A and B are shown apart, each in its own frame.
Chain A
Amino acid sequence: MAKISLIVNGNPVNANVDPRTLLVQFLRENLRLTGTHVGCDTSQCGACVVHLDGKAVKSCTTLAVMADGHEVRTIEGLAADGAPLHPMQEAFREHHGLQCGFCTPGMIMTAVDLVHRKGNDLSDHVIREELEGNLCRCTGYQNIVTSIAAGAKAMAKSDLA
């Protein structure tokens, strides 16, 4: 077992884990943060995307021990419980950027990272290129792209990053 200490959604977490525990397993099974999903389990689909030190990563391809000493943010960390949704979440709701919803947490975490890197005014082309690592198998991408463009603009006027 290995001792790890990290910050998850702003809260310090200490745990003893088997080194082969994936970060996504640790989040879902130890911390019960089940908003982060396991889709393909082969780093292709992006359902497991979380932020590690502020950058989007695939938590199914990251070991929990590698996050020791670092900061993790999951979909649950975007907005406080009961508080208004994060602007990117709100945009997905408003523009119907999901159907079954399985890929949505990863889509949103990727989209927020994209806004942090490329700003609030995103062209459809840039959004589609940047979604290379996130797969949706039901709606097609039209409304997801619309949601991200709108959410990016809304983030400029929001206190939530």
Chain B
Amino acid sequence: MYEFKYHRPATVRQAANLLVKNEDAKVIAGGHTLVPVMKQRLASPPHLVDLSHIDGLDGIEMKGRSLVIGATARHAAVATSAVVGEAIPALAELAGMIGDPAVRHKGTIGGSLANNDPTADYPAAVLALGATIVTNKRRLKAEEFFQGLFTTALESDEIITKVMFPVPKKAAYIKFRNQASRYALVGVFVAKRPSDVRVAVTGAGSDGVFRAESFEEALKKRFSHKVLDGVSVPAEGLNSDLHGSAEYRAHLIGVLTRRAVEAATAK
């Protein structure tokens, strides 16, 4: 790991000022993506700004019809939160499937979203549920936030403060893990919302998380796995590697979407 200076701001404003002052600074919270990347010397930020000691940034609460999760809420906190379990049980289940217990004690929702790893779980939930990402500067809709592999709409001095999830009627997340890394080879989050149905896919797209529109169209007519018979997603644009071909991933998206719809209906 290369040298860096460590900063521990007490407020979001202080953190933002540090980012403005130090152009190549990186934000850290749980550090469970950034520290490994720094150890591999794939990143060498001269300044680290640690958000994990900012009071009130890890809250979990209902505000009207929305579930609001603070940026530094740990995966373990989301997985075991009674508020999340009541409002969007699929989201609690998803958080409980990330990494392993020790990783879930450190990793944060804001960190996962800001990193936008193409195999991360949270982006699928955020996109399928139509969540809003709130930063120190503005509010971003999920579809404008994610901009491809490890890329988001965040500016260099912008900090995620919370994520607002509108509560769906039904939802479920199904993940097919890579047997070695345990990351999602494909993960599908299905949400039946008051106005529409969304199917978001992680792990498979060569450009990161995306919506499976052919499935959404079919499910909008009737929310049942039966309407998916004969409907598929194209293999074009999907990852192809030693773990699975693009065709295999396309097939998995269909299988997992059916299972997710069944799981959501059973809840």
Contacts and interface: CB of A to CB of B under 8 A. Distances in A.
A34 interface: no
B102 interface: yes
B36 A61 contact: yes
B101 A58 contact: no
Contacts of B4: 19-20
B39 interface: yes
Interface residues of B, number: 27
A108 interface: no
Nearest to A61: B35
Interface in A103-140: 110, 113-114, 117, 130, 132-134
Looking at chain A's contact residues, is the secondary structure mostly helix, strand, loop, or mixed?
mixed
A76 interface: no
B105 interface: yes
Contacts of A132: 100-101, 182
A56 interface: yes
- Classify chain A's interface size: 20 to 34
A42 B2 contact: no
Interface in B1-60: 1-6, 8, 28, 31-32, 35-36, 38-39, 48, 50, 52-53
B36 A57 contact: no
Interface string A33-61: 00000000111001001001001111001
A52 B1 CA distance: 22
Nearest to B96: A129
Contact of A46 (B2, B102, B106): B102
Contacts of B53: 69
Given A43-B32, A43-B36, A61-B36, A113 B101 contact: yes
B3 A62 contact: no
A94 interface: no
Contacts of A42: 36, 39
Given A19-B4, A132-B100, A63 B105 contact: no
A20 B43 CA distance: 13
B148 interface: no
A25 to B, nearest CB: 10
B134 interface: no
A56 B35 contact: no
A19 B5 contact: yes
A156 interface: no
B112 to A, nearest CB: 15
A57 B102 contact: yes
Given A20-B2, A61-B31, A62-B31, A133 B102 contact: yes
Nearest to B97: A132
Interface string B61-102: 000000000000000100000000000000000000001111
Contacts of B99: 133
Contacts of B103: 43, 58, 61, 133
A130 B31 contact: no
A29 B50 CA distance: 24
Interface of A: 2, 18-20, 22, 41-43, 46, 49, 52, 55-58, 61-63, 65-66, 68-69, 110, 113-114, 117, 130, 132-134
Which 10 A-B pairs have CB atoms at the shortest separation, nearest pair first? A133-B100, A19-B6, A132-B100, A55-B105, A20-B1, A56-B102, A65-B6, A58-B102, A61-B35, A133-B102
30 contacts: A19-B6, A19-B48, A20-B1, A20-B2, A22-B35, A41-B39, A42-B36, A43-B32, A46-B102, A55-B76, A55-B105, A56-B101, A56-B102, A56-B105, A57-B105, A61-B31, A61-B35, A61-B36, A62-B106, A63-B6, A63-B35, A65-B6, A65-B50, A69-B53, A110-B102, A114-B101, A132-B101, A133-B99, A133-B102, A134-B100
